[in-house]
Structure 1
Amino acid sequence: MSLTPRQQGAITLASGGLLMGTLGVFVEEARLDALTLVFFRCVFGFLSLAAYCVWKGFFTRAQFTRRTVALALISGILMITQWVGFFDAIHRTSIAVATVVFHVQPFWVVLIGAALFNERLGVDRLGWIATAFVGLVLASGVAASNNLYGHTSYLIGVGEALFGSLLYAAVTLIAKSLGELRPHLLTLMQCAVGIVCLPMIAPFAGTLTLTHIGPMQWFWLIGMGVLHTGLSYVLIYGALPKLTTPVIAVLLFVYPLTAIVVDAVVYGRALSPSQLVGMVLIVAASLGVNLGWPLLSLLHPGGRTRSHAK
């Protein structure tokens, strides 16, 4: 029995999310600093994406204008900074906590869009955003004093993941304005920015280890670039055009849910009940924002009608 394009897209997007959910294991097992991890992710991600783009014939002159190149380079700086912060957040907190905190990114997109483009948020969206940030407080563990007492590093990690989500929101908005540039090429250029810039800033930003890397460490580094930057992005970008917004909104949470399970199974770091409640709130709020679910409008007459009329 052959699958429909929509079914193929759903399976492909879920597969990409499952693969991305294992990223934290590669970060932990490589046992290298965040700057080194990101540099080699960029190297091997660039090579794998370049091979794919050549195979698909994506390198055409029409794809590269002054505007697209300039914006792609800016997004590259933001993306590489975000990756460094996220990887360091995993080291300081855990795979699950860093990933869950990072996934408040959709709400930054909404807030930044409202600030830049004067978009009206509405009472429902504001309610869902408030719900998401309550979930953030619970999921991050900052409400649990036993997690934080004397653990400045943990708080720094939570802050890095949160700041990374803000940077990624900016990258998302830039990508939306680059509709004419294939997303594979955008990621390729972001990796190129990392390859060039990270060695230049290493003396000021931290350690960049290029030698004395063991065979198993190379395995994790190559996997991070080929699997989590090459293959996973190809799967995700290939699936999105085949799916509707509601399906995408639901399936995008395969990634953080997989990361939570992987962290619990591999490292025994299960989220506490309050953190799981926070994760549920973030997921529900994200779906509410993306799908236009009514929330606060239910509290006043006619709210449901207005919400569905959007």
Structure 2
Amino acid sequence: MNVAAMIKLCVAMAIFGSIGFFTIHTGIPAVELVFVRCICATLFLGGMWFVTGGHKTEVWDKKELGKTIICGVFIVSNWVFLFKAFEQMSISIAISIYNLAPIFVLIFGAVLLAEKMGMYSIFATLICFVGSIFIVGIDNFTSLEDFFSSGFVWALLSAICYALTMFTSKTIHGLSAYALTFVQTIVGIIMLFPLCDFTVFSGLTTSNWIYILGTGIIHTGFVYYLFFDSIRNLSTVVVSVLVFVDPVVAILLDAILLSFRPSLLQTFGILLIFGSILYTVFSPEQKVVVHEQEKGASS
């Protein structure tokens, strides 16, 4: 067991768990915040890439580059949708829905790759859906206006885009982690530049800028460095467990610093979602798939 890698991943996930708290204190909308985040990440990770000399040994392939660009569109959209969800709903609720991504990966695998989806996995998916309704609040589903204003759609779209990011990145093998992220954040800058309203940056306080730069340098550059540097030295099962540090920290910060108090129904919904996700990740049928993938990778 690589203890150093485990610590790095735990730190990365714990820091990322505070991104919702940072986001709501930046004072700027989601699109502009993600734009700054992409710039900071490009400079930080691009600098690390050059300092380590990785750019000299990088092997570029047109097909892989195309997949990376598509993956970049998904991950940037994921960030924008998640931050928009933070603007309209509690961080805890948004994060709970956002972490439905593994369930969507399972669904995409069944639909697009004809991977077998067991009866228990289908049941877990239905339980997640019921849990998401509980945590948003059944009263928000009484009219389309209330439903769209609840932030549920943004959080759900962020989960779907995150799942598409994971699904697409699984097919990219030749590029280094630095090159992968560098290209993705460049895609984000190009995507969001025409959509940005740069007037939102005028009149910001020093505190606002600290939170803005924090989301860019710390939550994107530094966290991604720790993340990519650690997951290569850990098993799939260990990574699957440690990534749950992220939502736990997010929910704790929401409760302690922002005084979020979930209702009994919302608490039940959160437990349903994370219980179903944990079952899906560690179910016997998924362990068989993981074992076959790791066996194939080592052969």
Q: TM-score, normalised by structure 2?
A: 0.88
Cα distance, 1:135 vs. partner? Answer: 2.0
Distance 2:108 2:102 in 1: 10
The counterpart of 1:21, out of the listed 14, 17, 22, is: 17
Please give the per-residue CA displacement for 1:147-170, whole angstroms capped at 9, x wherever unaligned: 988973764511111011111111
Cα distance, 1:242 vs. partner? Answer: 2.4
Please give the per-residue CA displacement for 1:5-55, whole angstroms capped at 9, x wherever unaligned: 2x2222221111110011011111111111111111111111111122122
Q: 1:117 to 1:168 in 2, by over 3 A?
A: same
Cα distance, 1:62 vs. partner? Answer: 3.9
Q: Are 2:97 and 2:132, in contact at CA under 8 Å, matched by a contact in 1?
A: yes
User: Residue 206 of structure 2 aligns with which residue?
Assistant: 215
Residue identity matched to 1:169: A
Structure 2 gap segments, 5+ residues each: 293-299
Is residue 2:137 matched to residue 1:142? yes
Q: Secondary structure at the match of 1:190?
A: helix
Distance 1:244 1:216 in 2: 39
Is residue 2:167 matched to residue 1:176? no
Distance 2:6 2:143 in 1: 43
Please give the per-residue CA displacement for 1:239-288, whole angstroms capped at 9, x wherever unaligned: 21222222222211110111111111111113223222222222222222
Please give the per-residue CA displacement for 1:129-158, whole angstroms capped at 9, x wherever unaligned: 22222222223x232x28988973764511
Q: 1:148 to 1:261 in 2, by over 3 A?
A: farther
Please give the per-residue CA displacement for 1:218-243, whole angstroms capped at 9, x wherever unaligned: 21111111111011112222221222
Q: 1:280 to 1:195 in 2, by over 3 A?
A: same
Q: 1:266 to 1:231 in 2, by over 3 A?
A: same
Distance 2:259 2:145 in 1: 20
Q: Secondary structure at the match of 1:209?
A: helix
Distance 1:250 1:193 in 2: 30
Is residue 2:259 matched to residue 1:264? no
Distance 1:33 1:213 in 2: 12
Distance 1:277 1:103 in 2: 16
Distance 2:86 2:147 in 1: 11
Q: Are 1:142 and 1:148, in contact at CA under 8 Å, matched by a contact in 2?
A: no
The counterpart of 2:157, out of the listed 156, 163, 176, is: 163
Q: 1:211 to 1:276 in 2, by over 3 A?
A: same
User: Residue 83 of structure 1 aligns with which residue?
Assistant: 79
Sequence identity (%): 26
Cα distance, 1:61 vs. partner? Answer: 5.7
Q: TM-score, normalised by structure 1?
A: 0.85
User: Residue 191 of structure 2 aligns with which residue?
Assistant: 197
Structure 1 gap segments, 5+ residues each: 295-305
Distance 2:203 2:65 in 1: 35
The counterpart of 1:51, out of the listed 43, 47, 53, is: 47
Q: Secondary structure at the match of 1:170?
A: helix
User: Residue 94 of structure 1 aligns with which residue?
Assistant: 90
Q: Are 1:53 and 1:59, in contact at CA under 8 Å, matched by a contact in 2?
A: yes
User: Residue 284 of structure 1 aligns with which residue?
Assistant: 275
Aligned length: 291
Residue identity matched to 1:21: G
Distance 2:233 2:121 in 1: 26
Distance 2:267 2:199 in 1: 35
Q: Are 2:30 and 2:83, in contact at CA under 8 Å, matched by a contact in 1?
A: yes
Is residue 2:70 matched to residue 1:74? yes
Alignment root-mean-square deviation, CA: 2.7
Q: Are 1:92 and 1:153, in contact at CA under 8 Å, matched by a contact in 2?
A: no
Distance 1:221 1:280 in 2: 32
